Chain A
């Protein structure tokens, strides 16, 4: 991991990966969404609203994975003082917030025809909404911290503490009686019919690659801005 502590080396590696992740991700998402809209059958209970899962599940995964990334990078920043850790955490925050918002909005759109309501204050929905607010707070904190080490440390501690919400989101459907259904896809199998299930992994991988491409773009932009700032400071003091 420390091999990539040098920003120039990181940028050399990130440049081709940004494009590869982006294009492969867009291709996979196009296949998954076309499959989900046209090729899969409607569900016997939910009808055509089941098609919303092909965007809702990847966005829920990315909302949570994005904060997982922030927590891991914050840990690397606090423990190993990795020079790129704060940049990685900061770059993950906006895409994480966007996918959490997509998850909440598409879930709400799915809820209206299925549950008969746009919103319900149940465990899963509320903990996901809290995750969205945590993202907004982290973005504000990291933005305010800028290049100041003390501020970056506070943002990292916030990133670690906020990770407490991740198991709450995951287990909320087991801990509380909720309107949101229980786990349909686990590590050992799925309760979803094969004919409806197949676009989900393609969509999850595709959206994840797009997310990674966006994170790399934002990291490269932050590093370029830092380089410009340092250069201007040197020129001003010369």
Chain B
């Protein structure tokens, strides 16, 4: 460990990358799921009418 370097900016940057990427992955996947299932449900309803 380089004593001249403050470790915390590195720790915060690493956590920010992991948390942002995980939240983004969850958000994008959930949005894609809602969109796809919404389209399928709309077609189902259209088929029944």
Number of interface residues of A (CB under 8 A): 43
Interface pair B5/A113, CB less than 8 Å apart:
yes
Number of interface residues of B (CB under 8 A): 28
Asked if A224 meets B21 with Cβ closer than 8 Å, knowing A47-B1, A109-B10, A110-B10, the reply is no
Asked if A37 meets B2 with Cβ closer than 8 Å, knowing A217-B33, A220-B37, the reply is no
* Extra contacts besides A55-B18, A210-B22, A210-B26 (14): CB < 8 Å: A22-B26, A29-B22, A45-B1, A48-B8, A94-B25, A101-B21, A106-B18, A112-B5, A113-B10, A207-B22, A217-B29, A220-B36, A224-B40, A228-B39
Select one of B2, B5, B18, B32 contacting A102, CB under 8 A: B18
Interface pair B47/A214, CB less than 8 Å apart:
no
The A/B interface has a contact count, at CB < 8 Å, of 103
| Residues of A near any B CB (own CB < 8 A) | 22, 29, 33, 37, 42, 45-49, 51-52, 55-56, 59, 94-95, 98, 101-102, 105-106, 109-110, 112-114, 116, 207, 210, 213-214, 217-218, 220-222, 224-225, 227-228, 231-232
B13 to chain A, nearest CB (A): 5
Please measure, in the bound complex, the distance between the C-alpha atom of A22 and the C-alpha atom of B18, giving whole angstroms: 16
Q: Which residues of A contact B40 (CB under 8 A)?
A: 224-225, 227-228, 231
Interface pair A49/B11, CB less than 8 Å apart:
yes
Q: Which residues of A contact B19 (CB under 8 A)?
A: 33
